[in-house]
């Protein structure tokens, strides 16, 4: 039987977003600019304080 690593993988939107940004070597400001949003909004997404409206 395959044993899972001891570390817990967090699949929340905020953590996936942050990890992807870091994998791409972008700053929060760069990501926000590419997405056409304020840096503070992007920061809140990564912190899990808010989530983007997926309908827009």
Task: Give the pLDDT confidence of 4-34 residue by residue, as tens digits.
Answer: 555 555 678 899 999 999 999 999 999 999 9
Residue 52 lies in a domain: no
Residue 33 lies in a domain: yes
Better-predicted residue by pLDDT, 3 or 51:
51
pLDDT of residue 1: 47
Band the pLDDT of 54: cuts 50, 70, 90.
confident
Residue 30 lies in a domain: yes
Tokens describing residue 39 = 């840096």
Above 90 in pLDDT, residue 53? no
pLDDT of residue 52: 85
Q: Any idea what the Cα angle at residue 41 is, between residues 51 and 8, rounded to 5°?
A: 50
**Burial zone of 53 (CB within 10 Å; 0-12 exposed, 13-18 middle, 19+ buried):** exposed
Residue 53 lies in a domain: no
Q: How many domains does the chain have?
A: 1
Residue 39 lies in a domain: yes
Residue 24 lies in a domain: yes
Residue 45: count other Cβ atoms within 10 Å of its Cβ: 21
Residue 5 lies in a domain: no
Domain that holds residue 24: 13-47
3-state secondary structure of 16: helix
């Amino acid at each position: 039987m395959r044993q899972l690593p001891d570390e817990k993988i967090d699949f929340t939107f905020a953590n996936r977003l942050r990890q992807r940004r870091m994998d791409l070597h972008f700053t929060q400001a760069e990501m926000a600019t590419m997405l056409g949003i304020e840096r503070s909004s992007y920061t809140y997404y990564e912190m899990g304080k808010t989530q983007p409206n997926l309908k827009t």
